[in-house]
Amino acid sequence: IVLTSVCHSDLYHLFEYMHPEGFPTVLGHEAAGTVESVGPGVTEFQPGDKVIPIFLCQCRECRFCKSPKTNQFCPNSFLTQDPSLFTCKGKRVLQFMGTSTFSEYTVVHQSAVAKIDPAAPLDKVCLLGCGICTGYGAAVNTAKVEPGSTCAVFGLGAVGLAAVMGCKDAGAKRIIAVDINSEKAEKAKAFGATDLVNPKDHNIPINQVLVEMTNGGVDYSLECVGKVEVMCSALESCIKGWGVSVIVGWTDVYSITVKPLNLLCGRTWKGCMFGGKLFPLGVVFSYES
């Protein structure tokens, strides 16, 4: 592992999902590095290859991997593999999300690696291992943002900024970035946002603010925070009849309560993981983009 970044999911495992069975472990899943060696039967890689570990890998043989409708639920992914490929002082150390990149060396299955251009700057492309593909893909693959549309992106971390970039590349005419930190405005505009709205600057719910700004609601909204109240606000920010809202932020601690009328009115509520695209091709596509 040459470079690795810290994703919110790593912190989530520590502070929201902590349980005795999950430790000791080596965290980390957003990284880039160089193949040191390969095991028996590995045919797609050789020492020296520049690669990005993939936490949501596909076997390419099961019905889920062969379906263009999902990039999840492969029965042969890391979830069903041996959870421990490390030892420390003779004791088992659990692997995290099949990658465990907070380490000088890691061991992964060949299906959990994407080969990249040898000239790729590893300090930047390591973000393709999760955040960039997650946000960008949510806009392009899952929401399927259309040219000339109006979008709202909630949360301007790495995932949210990538979602803004995806909306821009998809041809959105107006991209409203929503965050409680107004200092993120300039960076959001650099990625393609046309407006920045800070909920703290208004005395009415943010969904009402967006509905008023857009004469009825946005065509697409993407929630990149991981809080259920923001997920509901993102849904209610969409225009009735055809609005699409995508849950991108991660949490499984809390449940969502929503009024059926918010969906019966014609809105669509979707969710995705890792950008909704099959990998490793999705990582290669995102890098080339």
pLDDT in tens, 24-64: 888 888 999 999 999 998 988 999 999 999 887 777 778 87
Distances (CA, A) of 230 to 65, 95, 183: 31, 31, 20
Which of the residues 65, 74, 126, 130 is marked catalytic? Answer: 130
The verdict on 245 and 200 lying in the same domain is yes
Is 19 one of the annotated active-site residues of the chain? no
Which of the residues 5, 8, 29, 77 is marked catalytic? Answer: 29
User: Pick from 129, 164, 180: which residue ends a domain?
Assistant: 129
Domain extent for 222: 135-273
Is 109 one of the annotated active-site residues of the chain? no
Which of the residues 8, 13, 65, 238 is marked catalytic? Answer: 13
Whole-number average pLDDT of the chain: 87
Which of the residues 5, 8, 9, 103 is marked catalytic? Answer: 9
Which of the residues 7, 57, 65, 167 is marked catalytic? Answer: 7
Q: Are 148 and 170 in contact (CB under 8 A)?
A: no
Is 65 one of the annotated active-site residues of the chain? no
Predicted structure pTM score: 0.85
Q: What is the CATH number of the domain that holds 227?
A: 3.40.50.720
Is 130 one of the annotated active-site residues of the chain? yes
Q: Would residue 15 count as lying in a domain?
A: yes
Q: Would residue 279 count as lying in a domain?
A: no
The verdict on 115 and 153 lying in the same domain is no
User: Pick from 84, 105, 129: which residue ends a domain?
Assistant: 129
Percent helix / strand / coil, the chain, rounded to 5: 35, 20, 50
The verdict on 111 and 171 lying in the same domain is no
What's the pLDDT score for residue 88? Answer: 86
- How many domains, the chain? 2
Where the chain has pLDDT below 70, the residues are 16-21, 73, 77-83, 253, 277-289
Q: Would residue 278 count as lying in a domain?
A: no
